Amino acid sequence: MLLDDVPVELPESLSDWDYQMDLPVRQQVRVDVDLVRQATGLPPSAKLTLAMVWTATGSGLKAAGSRVLLPEAGTVTVQLDALLSGNQLGGLLVLETALVLAEYCDSGALASPRRAGSVLWADQRSTRLQGDAALFPMAVVDFSRTQYPEDAGWHMEIGGDLETATMGALLLLVNERKKVVVEALRNAAKPRAVDRVVLSTVHADVARTLVDHALREPDFSLNADYGDESLGATLQALVARLFPEQSVSHLRRRQQQSPIAFATELQHAVRILEED
């Protein structure tokens, strides 16, 4: 992949990634076309293509990055490039490079592949996208054009059930009129001192909203299996991290009986305004 236009090996995880960060990826593959045809029994007329395909578990999306048609013979070095939009990613990003038969081939050896799309070779690599910024989509909008108070800084929208993919269930709307908030979120990977204060405040409020939503969901449980990268799994991870060794039933009682005290406990749990 490319970081600041510098090629680097795909890391195990990207700790400073967020949904506003697009990812440029590049794969170089050296292909001995003659050896491929010899090994597969395919004739020179068979069309061969090298393609890159990406999959993101957080969004459930899968798409082709780029593809290159190979020559009939010889050895070539193929470069595959793609710019992956951050708002389509999340969770585990899997990049697969595959050599495929581009068109139906009715000639060649008896055991040769025939069908278009037959995979002759494949390589797969992955990285986990796990930034310190919000791990869900964000949109900057003018609140005066929405149903929300025009002087509010942000609003967290939550939709779908606990099995819904996190990316499809959560959306943080940021008021474009609040420049300090917009700038802080844009600088989340490398925040200034003022950005850290704003990010801490947004983080605390988003955590409060998500925890409140989880505890008000009658079917929410720390023991349920909602599926990877789902809203339920995201809420489980958040509640377990903020309130370790505390049951959901206990937290629900605290929230219902002493909501103000519970809000203060949540401030403590998220370490609001704590300096690094």
> Residues 52-61: pLDDT tens digits?
999 887 666 7
Strands 119-129 and 13-14: parallel
Place of tokens 């798409």: 63
Query: How many angstroms separate the CA atoms of 248 and 224, rounded?
Result: 12
Query: How many angstroms separate the CA atoms of 4 and 68, rounded?
Result: 25
pLDDT of residue 167: 77
pLDDT of residue 79: 92
Neighbours of 216 (CB within 10 A): 11
Radius of gyration for the alpha carbons in the chain, expressed in angstroms and rounded: 24
pLDDT of residue 187: 82
Q: 2-129: what fold?
A: Immunoglobulin-like (2.60.40)
213 Cβ contact partners less than 8 Å away, ≥ 6 residues apart: 158, 235
The domains of the chain are located at 2-129, 138-270
Q: Which of 166, 163, 248 is nearest to 214 (CA)?
A: 248
Counting as low any pLDDT under 70, the low residues of the chain are 1-7, 15-16, 18-20, 58-60, 130-136, 189, 274-276
Contact 152, 38 (CB under 8 A): no
Query: How many angstroms separate the CA atoms of 139 and 141, rounded?
Result: 6
